[in-house]
Amino acid sequence: MTYLQLSAVFLAVAATGGLVAALVARRGPHAGALAATALTLLALTAVFDTVMIATGLFHYSPAHLVGVHIGLAPLEDFAYPVAAVLLLPAVWTALRARRSRRGTSAAATAAATEREERA
């Protein structure tokens, strides 16, 4: 399996998870925030992967790479920040929606208990 194939599987899982989480939450993250996050993470990945590869902390087998590099970082390395941009905001939104529903449910339960105590 090449790094590109592994990255494609990882991105597919992240995109599917992000889509499901956004559908469950019934709203998605703001597109501008996603774009700014993606640009920042991609730039940081290019810089820090280049530094880590240049210092010899790790290397990739050229036989498993597409051959396109940004700095010293292979193209396949950029799949992980893209996956984070796809999945993490959607999960955050879904968890906030779940907390809101739970908070509403707890408030309704407390109001019902209060009414019963008065009766």
Which value, to the nearest 10 degrees, does the dihedral of the CA atoms of residues 50, 77, 66, 2 take? 130
Q: How far apart are CA 56 and CA 97, in angstroms?
A: 44
Tens of pLDDT, residues 31-76: 788 899 999 999 999 999 999 999 999 888 888 888 899 999 999 9
pLDDT at residue number 83: 92
Higher pLDDT, 101 or 86: 86
pLDDT at residue number 62: 85
Candidates 58, 40, 36, 38; CA nearest to 49 is: 58
pLDDT at residue number 116: 67
pLDDT at residue number 114: 66
Is the per-residue pLDDT at 79 higher than 80?
A: yes
Q: How far apart are CA 39 and CA 1, in angstroms?
A: 28
pLDDT band at 20; cut points 50, 70, 90: confident
pLDDT at residue number 36: 92
Position 49, amino acid: D
pTM to 2 decimals? 0.71
Q: Which region among 3-7, 32-36, 114-118 has the lowest average model confidence (pLDDT)?
A: 114-118
Q: Where are the domains of the chain?
A: 3-118
